[in-house]
Amino acid sequence: MSLLGRLRQASLELAEQESHPWRAKLERHLRGVEAISTAALLDLLHAPATTGTARRLAAIMRSLHFIPIKSRRLMPGGRAGNTVTRGWARPVREIKSSPTMTNAGGAGSNHQGMLP
């Protein structure tokens, strides 16, 4: 590979690392975790609870294949009153790109070749 090619690749790798400095830390701490609150994640990262940091965290969590949830279960102490906290959970089922991709012979399928 030429010097220019190596510089471009190094530049891309550096930009990727700088764009997600929290990603490696989150990957390490979220192994085996099924659900976690956003507040706990911000505490883990020592980040302030602002809209900007929440959006940045959301982008990283989605890239790690977590889905956003609202739950009483994530509150410290369980079901305390009507308070609901937001957080992240791993999907129970595998995420598919389209529900119609695996719809073979089910509702809405086209039965060509069958006469009425």
Total domain count, the chain: 1
**Domain that residue 81 falls in:** 15-89
Q: What is the pLDDT of residue 47?
A: 92
Q: What is the pLDDT of residue 77?
A: 56
Residue 52, token pair as written in the block:
């900007």
Q: What is the pLDDT of residue 24?
A: 84
Evaluate whether residue 107 is within a structural domain: no
Residue 32 has pLDDT above 50, yes or no: yes
Residue in the block written with tokens 């598919």: 96
* 81 or 26, which is more confident: 26
Query: What does the alpha-carbon distance between residue 16 and residue 8 come to, in Å, rounded to a whole number?
Result: 12
46-77 pLDDT, tens digit per residue, is 999 999 998 989 988 998 899 998 877 666 65
Q: What is the pLDDT of residue 111?
A: 46
Report the predicted TM-score, pTM, of the whole model to 2 decimal places. Answer: 0.59
Query: What does the alpha-carbon distance between residue 47 and residue 58 come to, in Å, rounded to a whole number?
Result: 13
Query: What does the alpha-carbon distance between residue 63 and residue 61 come to, in Å, rounded to a whole number?
Result: 5
Closest of 78, 87, 94 to residue 34, by C-alpha: 87
Share of the chain above pLDDT 70, in %: 63
The answer to whether 88 and 58 are in contact (CB under 8 A) is no
Residue 18 has pLDDT above 60, yes or no: no
Evaluate whether residue 72 is within a structural domain: yes
Q: What is the pLDDT of residue 97?
A: 60
